[in-house]
A and B are shown apart, each in its own frame.
Chain A
Amino acid sequence: MSVKKHIDELFKEQLQNFEAAPSPEVWNSIQAAMKKEKDDRKVIPLWWKLGGVAAVLALLLTVGNMILNPSDDNLNTTIVSEEDNNTNLNEDSNTPVEDNLNKEAISSENTTEEQIEGDLKRFSVEKDGSNTLKNEMIKPSQKNLKGVAVEQGIEGNDLQKRNDLIKKDKSVEALTGKEAVATTSEKTKASKNDTELKNTDNTEIEVQDPLVNKGVSVGIAKNVSEGVGKISEKSDLSNKKETGKVNDAITGGDSKKDEAATNDEKPDGKKSIFDAIEEDTNDAIAKEEDKDTQSWEVTPNFGPVFYNNLGQGSSIDPAFSDNSQSGDVNFSYGVQVSYNINDRLSLRSGLSNVNLGYTTGGIELATGPVAIALRSIDYGGRSVVLTAFDSGTLANLPPSQGEGDPFANLNPKSTSGNAELIQNLSYYEVPMELKYALIDNRFGVNVIGGLSTLFLDDNEVSVKDGEFRDVLGPANNLNSVSFTTNVGVGFDYKINKRLKFNVEPMFKYQLNPYSDSSVDFKPYYIGIYSGLSFKF
């Protein structure tokens, strides 16, 4: 009797929710891959987190030192510390792995031996190996039957254990029974004919064979080789471990069914898939797509910057070295663009404007001829200028030398010693930084390191005493292009997939701000930048 059926229905009926048992070596490869991953992870974070930071620091300081005061000493020390790193790494990576291996091997030794003996005994009792072969093939109804059969006569707690044993029987039967292997195809054919197709013909067998054989031969070929290894090389610890695993993996298909029966997580197909798509675009959509779509990030940011000095001197005049000096708090603002090299590492650049200020106290002010004024100020050709002196200078001027003495023409403006000298700088900063994510959850923690190029935009030295305020002029000892080495920590909070809030305290050390190398003024600034990142 024949019925008309839509081709789609024909396939849906049998294939829509169909399940199949993969061969055991799939799990072995997965396990191996995950183990490798885990070992890598054990070693790499140490490297990346500490070594990475150390390397960046070492690099920056080396570069910085080479630019500032080139000498061989520094070079040697960095090399030594690198070697230390290497040896540490080797020790780290070797010992734990070996330990693990040995422990695992030892712990699995006893059990496997027992299992093998048990398996062999049972093998001699049971004989019909071909059925198990067929079970490897994929018939939902048959699987259920088998599941039921297995459960019969098995009591609660032992269920899993016995399942394992029973499965092991089958595998050993299949392997050691060479006849079964040799005549596999006939037997499978035969059993197929019995259960399914009463009127089998040649063409059908041809059609089915490739599938049946494939399933069977893949499974068996592996089992045979590993099974033989197991029996003949009892003394080899690592081998035992492996075969133990193989056996466990063989049980995979069946215990799954038991668990699935108790588990009502089965979804209603379509909907849940779409939910998953929407909620987990990142995960489900292939890595490739992730990279394509969300590799770039733009971050407008701003933050306060504190400018200060690591050296002893003054940038304006050596006479002010022992004066009170303090950095001002200013602002920096700009835009960053970053490219995500991988999940954790990103490279970024951008452009920002950074304003820095530095105040020197304890000075006196006077107008006088340019010859005795501060040399580091560009007065623009004027001959009588306002200038600053260290506190006490004006009161203790040497006795006048007559007409030609420039000091005779000084006209004090402020002698209280309360006046301040303020240097304001404005740079355009172009950073080139690497950012590595230590923690990459909703709340993230990153380390950041890199270099910035600073282009001098504006600079001005001014004086202030109470209400009085005047500009002396721009400093003439500043480089128009200078560099900073940057290190910092970044904290971020992911508002959603595209939007992120960042706070990044950064330490930036200026390498060559002054053209006059005798100036013992080593400025740095600390910025606490915050901003919103948009991923696209």
Chain B
Amino acid sequence: MILQELIEKCKQQSPKAQEALYKQYSGVLFGICLKYSPNRAEAEDNLQDAFITIFKRIGQYQGKGSFEGWIKRITVNTALQKYRKKKVFDISNEQQIEDAEVDVEQQTIPLDFLLKIIQELPDRYRLVFNLYVLDGYSHKEIAEMLGISDGTSKSNLARSRMILKKKVEAYISERNKDQ
């Protein structure tokens, strides 16, 4: 079934089409959910909420712009809604500007580990890091989406980079020790 047809059938609330759409996109969207949520269970909750929103509002998708972009945006929004209101204990003045580079060996750091330390970030840090680094939003856009200032977005990003960097470095040194 081509995408266009699938969307049309989903607009008519056909359960088969909904299932096909889910099969086609659950992987991509669950990837997003895992990055934006603190753990797998909440990621699954968010994926579920996102799909329900998509199915309910698919009638409003007018075929302008990429469909995948549209559903990704809904998914990101689902997570934002849930986590943006939680306050972050802001320690913005502490060691803000540091070298954001890490020594990495040729061997890559496992994806599971990277995902885990992203999930462990405080909610707002995690959102800002994802939006800026992985999804390419500007600080201005992030500020609007999260209802914070540009400056807060920048300092949140710097803080999250530092936290992640420390964890990656600790991981690498542990690994080297055992070699």
Chain A interface residues (CB < 8 Å from chain B): 1-8, 10-23, 25-27, 29-31, 33-35, 37-38, 137-139, 196-197, 199, 201-204, 207-208, 210-212, 214-215, 218, 248, 251-253, 255-257, 259-260, 263, 265-267, 269-273, 275-277, 279-280, 282-288
Tell whether, in the assembled complex, residue A279 and residue B64 are in contact, meaning their CB atoms are under 8 Å apart.
yes
Which B residues, 1 to 53, have Cβ-Cβ distances below 8 Å to chain A? Answer: 3, 13, 15, 18-20, 22-28, 30-31, 33-35, 39-41, 43-44, 47-48, 51-53
Tell whether, in the assembled complex, residue B30 and residue A276 are in contact, meaning their CB atoms are under 8 Å apart.
no
Listed residue (A19, A260, A271) with the most chain B CB atoms within 10 angstroms of its CB: A19
Closest 10 pairs between A and B when the two form their complex, measured CB to CB: A272-B69, A275-B65, A201-B178, A267-B66, A272-B66, A19-B27, A276-B70, A283-B60, A284-B73, A22-B30
Q: Roughly how many angstroms separate A29 CA and B62 CA in the complex, as a whole number?
A: 27
Tell whether, in the assembled complex, residue A7 and residue B65 are in contact, meaning their CB atoms are under 8 Å apart.
no
Q: Roughly how many angstroms separate A283 CA and B65 CA in the complex, as a whole number?
A: 13
Distance between A331 CB and nearest chain B CB, rounded to angstroms: 37
Chain A residues lying within 8 Å of B55, measured Cβ to Cβ, are 30, 34
Query: Which of A11, A138, A201, A214 lies in contact with B174, CB distance below 8 A?
Result: A201
Chain A contact residues: helix, strand, loop or mixed: helix
Q: Roughly how many angstroms separate A38 CA and B109 CA in the complex, as a whole number?
A: 46
Distance between B61 CB and nearest chain A CB, rounded to angstroms: 6
Chain A residues lying within 8 Å of B159, measured Cβ to Cβ, are none
Q: Roughly how many angstroms separate A286 CA and B33 CA in the complex, as a whole number?
A: 16
Query: Which of B27, B68, B109, B174 lies in contact with A267, CB distance below 8 A?
Result: B68
Tell whether, in the assembled complex, residue A21 and residue B66 are in contact, meaning their CB atoms are under 8 Å apart.
no
Tell whether, in the assembled complex, residue B27 and residue A21 are in contact, meaning their CB atoms are under 8 Å apart.
yes
Known: A1-B106, A265-B67. A256 touches B114 (CB 8 A): no
Query: Which of B18, B23, B74, B134 lies in contact with A252, CB distance below 8 A?
Result: B23
Distance between A11 CB and nearest chain B CB, rounded to angstroms: 6
Q: Roughly how many angstroms separate A201 CA and B171 CA in the complex, as a whole number?
A: 11
Tell whether, in the assembled complex, residue A37 and residue B56 are in contact, meaning their CB atoms are under 8 Å apart.
yes
The answer to whether the Cβ of B161 comes within 8 Å of any Cβ in the partner chain is yes
B105 closest partner in A (C-beta): A2
Chain A residues lying within 8 Å of B114, measured Cβ to Cβ, are 10-11, 14-15
Query: Which of A19, A218, A253, A286 lies in contact with B77, CB distance below 8 A?
Result: A286
Chain B residues lying within 8 Å of A38, measured Cβ to Cβ, are 13
B50 closest partner in A (C-beta): A30
Chain B residues lying within 8 Å of A282, measured Cβ to Cβ, are 60
Q: Roughly how many angstroms separate A280 CA and B41 CA in the complex, as a whole number?
A: 29
Tell whether, in the assembled complex, residue A5 and residue B104 are in contact, meaning their CB atoms are under 8 Å apart.
yes
Known: A3-B106, A7-B168, A33-B52. A212 touches B112 (CB 8 A): yes
